[in-house]
Amino acid sequence: MEGDAGPADCQIRLLGQADLKAYKELRDAMLARHPDAFTSDAESELQRDAASYHNRLSGGNGGANLFTLVAWSGSAMVGAVSCEHETRIKVQHLAKLEGMMVSDAWQGQGIGGRLMAQALQMLRTESRLEQVTLTVTSSNLLAVRLYQRFGFSQYGCLPDAIRLPDGVKLAKDLMRLGLR
Q: Is the pLDDT of residue 4 over 50?
A: no
Domains of the chain with CATH codes: 10-178 (3.40.630.30)
Q: Where are the alpha helices (DSSP H) in 34-73?
A: 42-46
Mean pLDDT, the chain, rounded, equals 89
Q: Are 3 and 117 in contact (CB under 8 A)?
A: no
Pairing of strands 131-137, 94-102: parallel
Residue predicted with more confidence, 97 or 62: 97
Task: Say what the pTM is.
Answer: 0.89
In the structure, how many helices (H) and strands (E) does the chain have? 4, 7
What confidence category does residue 61 fall into, taking pLDDT thresholds of 50, 70 and 90?
low
Residue predicted with more confidence, 125 or 63: 125
Residues contacting 61, CB < 8 A, separation 6+: 55, 84
